[in-house]
Amino acid sequence: MKEDMAIETRVLLLGIYKREEGESLNDVLMMLEHAGVFSYKEGKGHLKTLKADGYLLDDRLTVVGTQRAAEIQKEFTLPS
Range with the poorest average pLDDT among 2-6, 29-33, 53-57, 75-79: 2-6
Four-residue CA torsion sign, 57, 24, 64, 50 = positive
Confidence of residue 3 (pLDDT cuts 50, 70, 90): low
**How far is the C-alpha of 67 from the C-alpha of 80, rounded, in Å?**
22
Where are the chain's structural domains?
7-76
Q: Of how many residues is the chain composed?
A: 80
Tally of CB atoms within 10 A around 72: 19
pTM above 0.85, yes or no: yes
Q: Please give the biggest Cα pair distance in the chain.
A: 37
Give residue-wise pLDDT tens across range 13-72.
999 999 999 999 999 999 999 999 999 999 999 999 999 999 999 999 999 999 999 999
Residue type, 13: L
| pLDDT at 1 (0 to 100) | 42
